[in-house]
Each structure stands twice: as structure tokens, then as C-alpha cells.
Structure 1
Amino acid sequence: MLHHVVGVFTHPKKEWETVRDEQCNLKDCYLKHVLLLAAIAPISLFIGASQVGWTIVGKTHLLTISSTLPMAIGFYLSSLIGVYIMGRAIHWMATTFDAEVSLEKSVLIATTIATPLFLSGIIVIIPVVWLIMLVGMVASGYTVYLMYTGIPIVLNIEPERGFILASGVLTVGLVTMVGVLVTTVILWGMGFGPQHA
């Protein structure tokens, strides 16, 4: 797993060729890649919100452990489900472009694409809104770059068709993110939101 993490930042096109040639089943894909990477942001969120605290207008606000833990667990589960949904979307869309790709490979593609987002989650341990937004924007931009460069390489399709497929995957990703946000708002409205310590 570590070689993919380093590779997507140091030599992304070559790393995509490695991803294309890698074989893994769905269980191994999750065990080797997704479970660990997806845990970075929720653990950081838990520590940042319950131990460090958010500083707003000169006052530090800590959240209770009892409200932060379910948020972190929900964040982790939504990340795991989101990677699977994105993998399914890549697999489904690839068939319309006559690309031969397994569901396992599609999940690996989704995980590799999401690596910058997963790693950027470490910044939530320092709950400073402007810093989190800045790091999130940079990570999102690099994620989109990885998506547009990697999909044509791994699926062995022309760059033009890869652009169209990647645009479809990006759309699914945005819709998935909105779905997670709406679910969060509904749950918080039902009383499952954060509570101050």
C-alpha cells in the first residue's frame, strides 16, 4: 500500500501503470488499501474535535467524546461505502466504453484516486477552518488530476474517451458527497449532532 501512496505523488503516471498491472481481490483491496487510508481522517477528527478543540473568535470549543466518537465512526463507514460506490461506478461506466476491468480493479482505481483526500484528513487534527479548507481544496484538485490521468491508463482507453469517463466518475463522486452531506444534516437534525464539552 505504501508504494502506491508515495507513487501517486512522486510519479503518478508510472504509478497508474503499476495499478493497472496489480491483481487483488475485493477483500485484499480493502484490507491492504482502503481500511487504513480511510481511517486517517476519522481518527484525526476524533482527536481534533474532542482533545484539541476548535478555536472560534478566540474561544476553544471541545466536543464531547460521546458525540465525537459516533461522528468519527460514521465518517469512517461513509468513506468505506463511498470508495465502493465509486468503484462500482467506474466498473459500470467502463463497460460502456468497452474497457475490460473487474470490480476489484475498479475499487483499487477509486482508492488510488482518493488517496490525496484520505491523506489530507490528517489536517483535521488541527481544527483550524481556513487551513482545513486550503488543504482540502489542494487535495481535491490533485484527486481530480489523478482521476483524469489515471483512468485512461488503467483502462487502456484513448485519452479522449478517458476524459469523458473520468467526468462521469467525477459527477458520481460529487453526487455521493452531496448524499453524505444530506444524510449528515438529517442525522444532526434528529439529535445525533455534536455536543460541546
Structure 2
Amino acid sequence: MILNHLWGIYTHPKEEWKSIDTKHESYFYALSHIMIIALIPSGMAYYASAYLGWDIGAGSTADTIRLTQQSAMAMSVAMYAGLVAGVVALAVLIHELAQTFDATPNYTQSLEIAAYTATPLFMAGFGAFYPQLWFLMSVVLLGLSYSVYLLYTGVPIMLHIPEEKGFIFSSSVVTCGLVLMVILMAGSVILWSIGFGPQYM
């Protein structure tokens, strides 16, 4: 069943990683997981931008920013595609980087690491129900922290390498993840500069 590891990675992550490692699902299964989870931040971004509005000031309605529904939908679709592509790209990096650490995961294992590690960060999208910038940033920071924790605990288990090597490997993956994030942000800036930016109400 898709998403059947969702509860476990929050309540008992190490045991759940062992369960994932013992019974690998198909590549499509792992891809389906991330495609469903990625709907949360992109869908919430659409709802908050088009209907709730973002309050970037001190609570004054004059500071509330809303996008048109068409613009919010376009931004949401682009965000969804970027999130899914980012996780798949991270999985490819994990697969290639693992060879340096004498590990030989297949693409399914690499995608499992990337997908389940990204899950808490994507789940933080629910924070958009309260569209205050400071609140969302706090929730995203918590999600990111737990994602990094999952990466550091999951890599030694999934790749069958010592924890010392796993720590170095995970640190390398975090660095690659930050580079991918910068690339996505740069791509967004380029699209905005050529006329694909948001349209405000």
C-alpha cells in the first residue's frame, strides 16, 4: 500500500528504515509515494495564495497578498514538477555518490532514501493553513530538521555501511541537496524575469 511507511518514519524511524530495507518495493512504488506527498506543499501553496492570502506584515489586511487563481495554479504546478524532479535528481546523486563509499544501491533503494527523507519537509506544507510567513518558516525548519535526521539514520541502514561512513555520506547528500535547492531557486528567478512571475490581485 502506498504511504504505508508514513507513520513509521515518525514514530520509530530506525525500525522503519530496517523494514524498508528488508522489503524493498518497486521503483514505481517509491515514485508514487513522492508524487502523492508532493501534492501537499504544492496544493497548499495554491490554496493559501489564491484564497487565504499571505500576511507578510504585522497582521494588517493591507499587507495581505493574494494571487489570481490562474497565477496560483501555474505556480503550484511548477512547484509540484520542481519538487518531484528535485527528489528524483537527489536519488540519482545518491546512487552515483554511493560508489565512492563502497556501496552499491540500485535506483529503487536510492529513490527510497530520497523519497522518505523528503517526506517531513513536504508534509510541512500543511503549515500554509495559517499563511503567516514566520509561522510557515518555523514549520519548514522543523520539517527540514527531521528530514536531515531521517537521512542520517537511514543511510547506514539502507546502504549497509558503518555509521561513520554513513555520517560522511549523509553530509555529502545534504550538500548536494542544498545545491539542487539553489538550482531550483535560480530557475524560478529566471522564469520570473522572462514574464512567468506571479500575478497579484
How high is the TM-score relative to the length of structure 2?
0.93
2:55 aligned partner: 55
Helix, strand or coil for the counterpart of 2:80?
Answer: helix
Q: Percent identity?
A: 38
Q: State the 1:3 CA deviation.
A: 3.0
Whether contact under 8 Å (2:34, 2:119) holds in the other structure is no
1:77 aligned partner: 81
1:42 aligned partner: 42
Alignment of 1:85-100 (within 5 A): 85-100=89-104
1:4 aligned partner: 5
Q: What amino acid is the match of 2:171?
A: S
Question: Which stretches in structure 2 are left out of the alignment for 5+ residues?
Answer: none
How high is the TM-score relative to the length of structure 1?
0.95
Please tell me whether residue 15 in structure 1 is matched to residue 16 in structure 2. Answer: yes
Please tell me whether residue 157 in structure 1 is matched to residue 158 in structure 2. Answer: no
The CA RMSD over aligned residues, in Å, is 1.2
Distance 1:160 1:56, change over 3 A: closer
- Using the alignment, how far apart are the partners of 1:7 and 1:45 within structure 2? 26
Whether contact under 8 Å (1:64, 1:196) holds in the other structure is yes
Q: What amino acid is the match of 1:12?
A: P
1:131 aligned partner: 135
Please tell me whether residue 185 in structure 1 is matched to residue 186 in structure 2. Answer: no
Whether contact under 8 Å (1:86, 1:172) holds in the other structure is yes
1:141 aligned partner: 145
Higher relative contact order (CA 8 A, sep 6+): 1
- Name the stretch that deviates more: 108-117 or 119-128: 119-128
Q: What amino acid is the match of 2:132?
A: V
- Using the alignment, how far apart are the partners of 2:24 and 2:138 within structure 1? 35
- Using the alignment, how far apart are the partners of 1:139 and 1:152 within structure 2? 21
2:26 aligned partner: 25
